[in-house]
């Protein structure tokens, strides 16, 4: 009979620490051709390099699990190299926080962007609907009927979406969309537009449109560069003020949250026989969203880095196990997020013959 796996506590602290150090290092530093660590490879390296007592896969897994370390997992991360990231992020987040009050004062906070390359796909064979014990099955092959581009503006205070569905996203398309949004919300004292750094968002055509709204005359020679155009559009003295997200920080635009909802509910499992059908389904879905589902989003990011011992700074396992602080007793907010399960003891049956 094989012995039970060793308890991680049976190994000295330096050997347990060696597992963590090896799992958090690069594989090429240890002459390993793999691009990630596996339990078998960790066990092999520990025996041959560190000359430690052999550890089973189960023991290594328990050590990594106790440290909430998952070397087999990886997520994408986009680093922003914008030197003014903090200032821009705080300014945009402050707009989101004050959007309800600004709306009552007659000033709207609007988030605008495009969702490009929406493919109109028709499945080559019909989709099989879900049955008990069997998920829905979609045909892998499809027939492509072109693409469409959605130009959308999300009103932060109300959650309403103003949209235009077009085959292109040129500067003229974007300028026409801005005009449509301004016509949808007339008689406002001011507009704060949150946009990313796409070239069509700070083009010369947008500058001319803002100049017409402001009743200004502009000299194109003074708006020759992108920096000059962005400075003109960001002028706080204007009625229409543009706020550009940091480089690689388009996730600060709330309309991206709406695009995520659109992708999950309409585009991901879409089966459209033609471009006309796609446009009709899109119009129906967007109209229904504005009538029944539109709502402001609860924005929790403040522009500040996540602070240690706050609910969002640690993983759920660390919060459950109390690794985010010195004591083992969970904090109050942790007990609210992960309340203890209400275990119920079984009542022993009474003896039939007393």
Q: pLDDT at position 348, please?
A: 54
Residue 320 maps to a domain: no
pLDDT tens per residue across span 249-263: 999 999 999 999 999
**Average pLDDT by stretches of 10, the chain with 354 residues:** 53 84 89 88 78 74 88 84 90 94 95 95 92 91 94 96 95 96 94 96 96 93 94 95 94 95 94 95 96 91 62 58 50 60 52 49
Let me know whether 56 and 200 are in one domain: no
Let me know whether 21 and 122 are in one domain: no
Q: How far apart are CA 239 and CA 189, in angstroms?
A: 7
Q: Would you call 152 helix, strand, or coil by DSSP?
A: strand
Residue 324 maps to a domain: no
| pTM (2 d.p.) | 0.77
Q: How far apart are CA 173 and CA 185, in angstroms?
A: 19
Q: pLDDT at position 1, please?
A: 43
**Which of 293, 326, 343 is the last residue in one of the domains?**
293
Q: What total number of domains does the chain contain?
A: 2
Let me know whether 56 and 90 are in one domain: no
Let me know whether 144 and 242 are in one domain: yes
Let me know whether 227 and 283 are in one domain: yes
What residue has token string 């706080």?
A: 236
Let me know whether 40 and 154 are in one domain: no
**Which of 246, 270, 293 is the last residue in one of the domains?**
293
Both tokens of 21, joined, read 């150090």
Q: How far apart are CA 85 and CA 337, in angstroms?
A: 31
Let me know whether 60 and 91 are in one domain: no
Let me know whether 45 and 93 are in one domain: no
Q: How far apart are CA 95 and CA 100, in angstroms?
A: 9
Q: pLDDT at position 346, please?
A: 52
CB count within 10 Å of CB 347 equals 6
Q: How far apart are CA 319 and CA 309, in angstroms?
A: 9
pLDDT tens per residue across span 211-233: 999 999 999 999 999 999 999 99
Let me know whether 99 and 240 are in one domain: yes
Q: How far apart are CA 286 and CA 294, in angstroms?
A: 10
CB count within 10 Å of CB 275 equals 14
Q: What is the dihedral of CA 153, 154, 160, 163, to 10 degrees?
A: 20
Residue 56 maps to a domain: yes
Residue 283 maps to a domain: yes
**Which of 293, 321, 343 is the last residue in one of the domains?**
293
Residue 13 maps to a domain: yes
Q: How far apart are CA 159 and CA 297, in angstroms?
A: 7
Let me know whether 114 and 172 are in one domain: yes
Q: How far apart are CA 281 and CA 121, in angstroms?
A: 13
Let me know whether 245 and 193 are in one domain: yes
Q: pLDDT at position 331, please?
A: 59
Specify the CATH number for the domain of residue 246: 3.30.420.10
Range of the domain at 188: 85-128+135-293
Both tokens of 185, joined, read 């919300």
Let me know whether 89 and 56 are in one domain: no
């Amino acid at each position: 009979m094989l012995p039970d796996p060793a308890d991680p506590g049976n190994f000295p602290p330096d050997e347990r620490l060696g597992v963590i150090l090896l799992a958090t290092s690069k594989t090429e530093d240890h002459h390993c051709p793999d691009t990630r660590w596996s339990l078998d490879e960790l066990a092999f390296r520990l025996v041959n390099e560190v000359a430690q007592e052999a550890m089973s896969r189960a023991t290594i897994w328990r050590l990594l699990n106790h440290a909430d370390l998952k070397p087999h997992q990886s997520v994408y991360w986009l680093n922003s190299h914008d030197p003014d990231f903090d200032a821009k992020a705080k300014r945009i987040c402050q707009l989101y926080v004050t959007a309800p009050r600004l709306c009552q004062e007659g000033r709207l906070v609007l988030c605008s962007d495009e969702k490009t390359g929406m493919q109109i796909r028709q499945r080559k064979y019909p989709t099989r609907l879900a049955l008990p014990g069997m998920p829905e099955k979609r045909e892998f092959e499809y027939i492509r009927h072109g693409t469409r581009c959605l130009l959308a503006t999300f009103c932060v205070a109300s959650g309403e979406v103003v949209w235009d569905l077009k085959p292109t996203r040129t500067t003229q398309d974007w300028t026409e969309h801005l005009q449509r949004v301004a016509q949808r919300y007339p008689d406002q004292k001011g507009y704060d537009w949150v946009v990313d750094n796409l070239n069509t968002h700070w083009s010369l055509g947008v500058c001319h449109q803002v100049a017409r709204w402001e009743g200004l005359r502009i000299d194109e020679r003074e708006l020759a560069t992108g920096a000059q155009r962005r400075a003109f559009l960001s002028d706080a003295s204007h009625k229409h003020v543009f706020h550009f997200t940091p480089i690689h920080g388009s996730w600060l635009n709330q309309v991206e949250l709406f695009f995520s909802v659109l992708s999950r509910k309409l585009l991901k499992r879409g089966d459209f026989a033609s471009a006309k059908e796609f446009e009709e389904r899109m119009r129906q879905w967007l109209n229904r969203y504005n009538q029944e589902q539109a709502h402001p989003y609860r924005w929790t990011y403040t522009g500040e880095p996540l602070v240690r011992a706050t609910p969002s700074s640690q993983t759920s396992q660390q919060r459950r196990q109390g690794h985010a602080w010195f004591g083992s007793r969970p904090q109050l907010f942790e007990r609210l997020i992960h309340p203890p399960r209400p275990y119920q003891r079984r009542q022993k049956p009474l003896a039939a013959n007393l």
